[in-house]
Homo-oligomer: A and B are copies of this chain.
Amino acid sequence: MSSTAAQSPSPAIALAVDLGGTKVEAALVSDQGVVLPGTRHRQPTGPLRSAEELQAAVDQVVTATLATLPADARLVGVGVGAAGPVDEEHGLVSPLNMPVWRGWPLRDNIASLVPEGIPVTLRMDGLAITLAEHWVGAAQGSDHVMGMIVSTGVGGGLILHGRTVSGPTGNAGHIGHVECGGFDDPCACGGTGCLEAVASGPKTVAWAQRQGFAGSTGEELSAAYAAGDEIAVAAVRRSGRALGQAIAAATSLVDLEVVAIGGGFSHVTPDLFEYAREAVAERVEFGFVTKVRIVPTGLSQDGPLIGAAALVHRADVLR
């Protein structure tokens, strides 16, 4: 963990920005991975806003958060975790569910709001969250990690050999678009049987509805599962197995040690993890696959902001 507290009286602070499909948040985060109280600001985003309205929402949260910087603190950088795809080299974002932003220069726009010379680092949100799990979450101590979010969509990021993997474009970590054998659910990306098309919260609920489930939310599915509803159990089991299959495939390819899973739908029931582990355990011939540990996120609700801050405070892990 980087810490300059011993060398300097002024604590090193990162301005963290998390751009998601429904909201943009910003906050100040210490080099111990703690969101400073009273510094968090939030604005809605979503597909209905114009490009300029979206940027205005970002400007508002960044500017308001910057104004909360304590007088004795030192802003050392801005970290931005953004819904993908991204163009890492040029700092552009093209979030799937903000179609008015295609190749939008988010990094430079944010840089214009902060003092000159403050570096702005932009990465996919899945990579940011993975850095956070590695830094202060469930993947501490491992150099071969996948962080995952299972929510409205399914995303993730990779740390291999102790360093982040973002690829030439910055889009490595799209575990939601790894396919699951035996599943032929059509995916919005154009693929077949992609994990996201099977196991996201909405897709799991939709599958249950097609079997006769009367509810319409992940919360209702969770309650039905807890009550032993057969359809809810089948739906959660199906999605859990798909999760495990995609994790087994990813482990076959990059030899993971630990997969840390967060996101709203990951809390549907702890059994979701058991179904995933069952599917991984079927790879009986490959000890290097079955060794992978699948664990719940070690982060609070602040995970995405801590991840964005890790782009600054854990720049040593970035590549």
Contact = CB atoms under 8 A, between A and B. Distances in A.
A248 interface: yes
Interface in A169-204: 169-185, 188-194
A169 to B, nearest CB: 5
A162 to B, nearest CB: 10
How many chain copies? 2
Interface centre among A167, A189, A249, A250 (most CB of B within 10 A): A249
A268 interface: no
Interface in A129-187: 143-144, 158, 160-161, 163, 165-185
A190 to B, nearest CB: 4
Given A167-B255, A190-B282, A191-B245, A177 B289 contact: yes
Contact of A319 (B161, B193, B252): B161
A282 B171 contact: no
A283 B287 CA distance: 32
A192 B191 CA distance: 18
Nearest to A85: B288
Contacts of A190: 282-286
Looking at chain A's contact residues, is the secondary structure mostly helix, strand, loop, or mixed?
Answer: loop
22 contacts: A144-B168, A158-B254, A160-B160, A160-B167, A165-B165, A165-B254, A169-B291, A172-B253, A173-B253, A175-B252, A177-B249, A177-B283, A179-B180, A181-B192, A188-B285, A189-B283, A189-B286, A190-B285, A191-B245, A192-B282, A249-B249, A253-B254
A100 interface: no
A254 B255 contact: no
Contacts of A160: 160, 165, 167, 172
Contacts of A284: 189-190
A10 B298 CA distance: 56
Given A160-B160, A285-B188, A255 B181 contact: no
A257 interface: yes
A96 interface: yes
B179 A287 contact: no
A256 interface: yes
A287 B289 CA distance: 30
A186 B287 CA distance: 18
A167 B262 CA distance: 23
Contact of A171 (B246, B255, B319): B255
Interface in A53-87: 85
B178 A252 contact: yes
Contacts of A282: 190-192
Given A161-B319, A192-B245, A285-B188, A253 B178 contact: yes
Q: Which of A161, A179, A190 counts the most B-chain CB atoms under 10 A from its CB? A: A179
B252 A174 contact: yes
Contacts of A257: 168
